[in-house]
Amino acid sequence: MLRAAIVQLTSSDDPAANMPRTEALVRDAAKGGAELIATPEVTNIVSMSRARQREMLRSEAEDPTLARLRAVAVEMGVWVLIGSLALSGESPDGRFVNRSFLLGPDGGIVARYDKIHMFDAAPGAGEAYRESAGYRPGKAATLARTPWGGLGLTICYDLRFPELYLRLARAGARLIAIPSAFTRPTGAAHWEPLLRARAIETGCYVLAPAQCGTHPAAEGRSRETWGHSMIVAPWGEVSVMGETAGVLFADLDMAAVDAARARVPSLSGARVFHGP
């Protein structure tokens, strides 16, 4: 059994204000017995302003949220998946990166992953995002080794690209992280079915900690996120949060991965075919 926890947050555009709230919930999760604790996409800052991001963001080496959570991982003796940090100074073209970190219980960085698929979309209600203008996309899928098996690292909009998940599962993933900051319109329409589909088609546990609530407006644009953080079992059963910050625990029986794959062997059953 793995006791896992996901943390739901309403991150603001001030990393120094977000950090103690994040740390408090990670500590609550550890005190509740969680061995693996996952936080949402852009745990350190949600901002609609590139100017504000340029002012507040730091490089990986200087990021205070990363340093703080590494210390918490050591102190509490837990694995922490920082869903992502927005970081500057990592790309020669001046763009930021949207990077996940898996921390081991010794505080070491076990794996890093830069979000591959950038959210360039107009999901409705006058909202438009051009993530690729602000962030440099990653180019490499990442599978981390953990005591519970392979953990595939992905982020938010990646959820819509099922090939990535099939490749992670075929390479050995038994757990997949999908930390997110979903919009409200796409969350209402797509969040749960896409997460359940990824869990069912890969036969993996899916951990999907998300941002929720209302984030600071800037440049005349506001931002709300969907919340409803979820843990999905390989057979598709869901544990779900509401729309406010907090922690969700789940006891994961890793044998359910093998059981689901034995009942329906679609992960290993793909055939080579021609066309269209």
Contacts with ligand KGT by CB under 6 A lie at 41-42, 86, 98, 119, 123, 129, 131, 156-157, 160, 181-183, 186
The nearest distance, CB 199 to ligand KGT, in angstroms, is: 17
Q: Between 143 and 210, whose beta carbon lies closer to ligand KGT?
A: 210
Query: 22 Cβ partners below 8 Å, 6+ apart?
Result: 7, 9, 11, 39, 43, 65, 69
Q: Catalytic residues, which ones?
A: 41, 115, 156
Q: Between 56 and 67, whose beta carbon lies closer to ligand KGT?
A: 56
Cβ burial, residue 190 (10 Å; 0-12/13-18/19+)? middle
Residue facing ligand KGT at closest CB distance: 186
Cβ burial, residue 193 (10 Å; 0-12/13-18/19+)? exposed
Q: Between 42 and 177, whose beta carbon lies closer to ligand KGT?
A: 42
The nearest distance, CB 86 to ligand KGT, in angstroms, is: 5
The nearest distance, CB 115 to ligand KGT, in angstroms, is: 8
Q: Between 180 and 202, whose beta carbon lies closer to ligand KGT?
A: 180
CA distance 154 to 180: 9
Which strand (E) or helix (H) includes residue 24?
Answer: helix 15-31
CA distance 271 to 215: 46
Question: Which one, of 112, 82, 85, 81, lies nearest residue 97 by Cα?
Answer: 85
The nearest distance, CB 38 to ligand KGT, in angstroms, is: 16
Query: 24 Cβ partners below 8 Å, 6+ apart?
Result: none
The nearest distance, CB 192 to ligand KGT, in angstroms, is: 12
The 10 Å Cβ neighbour count of residue 159 is 23
Q: Between 29 and 86, whose beta carbon lies closer to ligand KGT?
A: 86
